[in-house]
Amino acid sequence: MTGADFVMLSLVPLVIGTLAAIACALPGNFLLLRRQALIGDAISHVVLPGIVVAFLLSGRVAAVPMMLGAGAAALVSVVLIEAIRRLGRIEPGAAMGVVFTAMFAGGVLLLEQSAASGVHLDVQHALYGNLESLIWLDGYGWGALVDGAALRGLPPELMRMAVVTLVVVLLTALFWRALVIATFDEGFARTLGLPVRALSLGLVAVAAAAAVAAFDAVGSIIVIAMFICPPAAARLMTDRMGGQVAWSTGFAVLSAVAGYVLAGYGPIWLGQSSAVSAAGMIATVSGVILGLAALFGPRRRGLGAKQGG
Amino acid sequence: MTQEAMTMLPEPVRDRLVDESPLAIRGLTVSYGEKPAVFSVDVSFRAGKMTAIVGPNGAGKSTLLKAALGILRPLSGQVTAFGHPLDEMRARIAYVPQRASVDWEFPARVIDVVMMGLYRELGLLGRIRPRHRARAMDSLARVGMEGFATRQIGQLSGGQQQRVFLARALAQGADLYLLDEPFAGVDAATERAIIAVLKGLRDEGRTVVAVHHDLATVPAYFDRAFLLNVTAIAEGPVAEVMTEANLRAAYGGRLGPAQQAV
């Protein structure tokens, strides 16, 4: 593959995949340590109908309506869970399970309506994203990176993902100290006067924003995998919070890059003619990394088998 | 006296009536379900003293502490610290939660946990300077844990973890220390070390209030006792509070012979 081919076909998907992986893995660390890792999973299920409705109403895939739709869907879910729990006298876990799957299924049905209306967004798109199709037609070579005209032809998904990732990184850095304390010891955090509730709501909101932004480009499979796999693997590598976040970011980047390359070239190396889904491969690589960390990570002790004392 | 009634009084009278106690609780009721865990409790803890909160299991001892600190939301009640609303006095209050309330597999070293006690000083983005680190190390030394600063907290024994929590509170440099079961599941050496530190704080004029389980050690460890069983039963010097009648009122028939001997 020549430089020009690479810039036109692979550079943008690689960068978007990497940004999406980082944006999800960062809040994923805190969710994992708060034993709320499945919130990422929940978010990506629940927001689907909201995104589809926003898409049908606005007629385009744009950041603001998508976020609004996702937020509305999340609110509806919270109300539904509470209503089912109270009216049906069911335990919260069961109520959540019902609402998450119902919301996702509703989203899938809505998607089919959108396919009928002739706009492009389908079930496959929701699961796998459309990473491979994010090509940069004006990217004629490395020179295009400094060519204003060519840069204007970059897929809009790139800018959207870059902005969201930047916001996630900045918020994580800004609230780092408070987030770490509130995550480790919520009661103590309250006695310091920290707004514990606002912090956890903010964390979930940031995770949701990352999920929604990543959703369109890379699909929900990557979103779910990146919320959990890199942070969980990082947990097996270090005993410090800074190290935890650094390792998870490294694993997220590695998953995105290695997954994309393997999806594009792996089958060819194996003598097959066509590439496989990049989203699926990225999620798989992140799972393999977690498996390796579980087998060989230096800090495996303690998790599962609690130390005496 | 209620807040509204207070405001109707002339200022000189009001000032004399304001409870300057490090922690004054008025009409505190907390409920998890239908039955209250703590019911209409009034208590003021004496400044410069060590007070044990004692009572049977399920008496609401931890709940009282948590609700007073705003960790739990009470149904009703008012809490003042040093004569001011609690939220204004947070910098002067240090809280040591139950050791089992956190996940010790959290990726943090001993020194990282102790540094959390400096949050109010450092804020979100304040730079950690050598004097901050020195204060954290000094706090660790006071509980005999200076050699463990870079250990992962999950590698510590229960007693060592409890000392780390106490060191974090010491780093806060507070005037009021509230501890929830500081001796639960710790070794004898740790118990001695902790009580020595707490008595040291008291001798510096600071106030210590601890939820305590072991009636037998109350007279040796504490100056005062607050007997609680959902409602307040008695508060005062240990000898005056731990009478047979009071203990019977708090514990009912559940008092074992060893405890009756106190």
Q: What is the pLDDT of residues A246-274, one digit of tens each?
A: 999 999 999 999 999 999 888 888 887 77
B21-250 is classed in which CATH architecture?
3-Layer(aba) Sandwich (3.40)
Q: What is the pLDDT of residue B22?
A: 96
Interface confidence, given as ipTM, is 0.89
Reported as a pLDDT band with limits 50, 70 and 90, residue A308 is very low
Residue B108, phi-psi category: left (phi > 0), alpha (psi -120 to 50), beta (remainder): beta
Cβ–Cβ below 8 Å for B116 and A184: yes
Cβ atoms B239, B250 nearer than 8 A = no
Which run of H or of E encompasses A286?
helix A278-296
- Distance between CA atoms of A91 and B108, rounded to whole angstroms? 34
Q: What is the pLDDT of residue A77?
A: 87
Give residue ranges of B with CB < 8 Å to any A CB. 66, 69-71, 87, 90, 93-95, 97, 101-103, 105-109, 112-113, 116, 119-120, 122-125, 152, 154-158, 160-161, 168
Could you please report the per-residue DSSP string of A108-145?
Answer: HHHHHHHHHTT-S--HHHHHHTTGGG---TT--SGGGG
> Which among B70, B93, B157 has CB closest to A309?
B157
- Specify the pairing of strand B207-211 against strand B176-180: parallel
Determine which of B23, B90, B124, B160 to mutate to test the interface with A (most A C-beta atoms within 10 Å). B124
For the cut 70, the answer to whether the pLDDT of residue A118 exceeds it is: no
> Which among A181, A186, A307 has CB closest to B116?
A181
Q: What is the pLDDT of residue B5?
A: 63
Q: What is the pLDDT of residue B18?
A: 67
Nearest to B144 by CA among B189, B77, B208: B189
The first and second tokens of residue A84, run together, are: 């089912």
Helix A196-235 crosses helix A12-33 at what angle (to 10 degrees)? Answer: 110
Cβ–Cβ below 8 Å for B125 and A235: no
Q: What is the pLDDT of residue A304?
A: 43
- Distance between CA atoms of B240 and B231, rounded to whole angstroms? 18
Q: What is the pLDDT of residue B260?
A: 47
Cβ atoms B23, B95 nearer than 8 A = no
B-proximal residues of A, 171-210, CB under 8 Å: 174-178, 180-181, 183-188, 190-194
Cβ atoms A186, B67 nearer than 8 A = no
> Which among B70, B97, B105 has CB closest to A188?
B97
Nearest to B18 by CA among B56, B44, B55: B44
Q: What is the pLDDT of residue A47?
A: 86
The first and second tokens of residue A211, run together, are: 């999920």
Could you please report the per-residue DSSP string of B105-125?
Answer: TSS-BHHHHHHGGGHHHHTTT
The domains of chain A are located at 3-296
Residue of B nearest to A303 (CA): B105
Beta carbons within 10 angstroms of residue B205's beta carbon:
9
A3-296 is classed in which CATH architecture?
Orthogonal Bundle (1.10)
The first and second tokens of residue B184, run together, are: 């639960």
Residue of A nearest to B125 (CA): A174
Q: What is the pLDDT of residue A70?
A: 86
Cβ atoms B231, B41 nearer than 8 A = yes
Q: Which residues pair with B226 in a beta bridge?
A: B53, B235
Reported as a pLDDT band with limits 50, 70 and 90, residue A307 is very low
In a structure prediction context, what are the per-residue pLDDT tens digits for chain B, which is 262 residues long?
A: 555 665 666 665 555 556 889 999 999 999 987 889 999 999 999 999 999 999 999 899 999 999 999 999 999 999 999 999 999 999 999 999 999 999 999 999 999 999 999 999 999 999 999 999 999 999 999 999 999 999 999 999 999 999 999 999 999 999 999 999 999 989 999 999 999 999 999 999 999 999 998 999 999 999 999 999 999 999 999 999 999 999 999 988 655 544 444 4
Q: What is the pLDDT of residues A121-134, one digit of tens each?
A: 667 777 777 788 88
Average pLDDT, chain A: 87
- Distance between CA atoms of A286 and A249, rounded to whole angstroms? 12
The domains of chain B are located at 21-250
Cβ atoms B63, B19 nearer than 8 A = no
Q: What is the pLDDT of residues A142-189, one digit of tens each?
A: 888 888 888 988 988 899 899 999 999 999 999 999 999 999 999 999
Reported as a pLDDT band with limits 50, 70 and 90, residue A119 is low
- Distance between CA atoms of B141 and B125, rounded to whole angstroms? 27
Find all residues with CB under 8 Å of B185, minimum gap 6, and list them: B99, B100, B158
Cβ–Cβ below 8 Å for B109 and A240: yes
Cβ atoms A134, A13 nearer than 8 A = yes
> Which among A184, A185, A309 has CB closest to B158?
A309
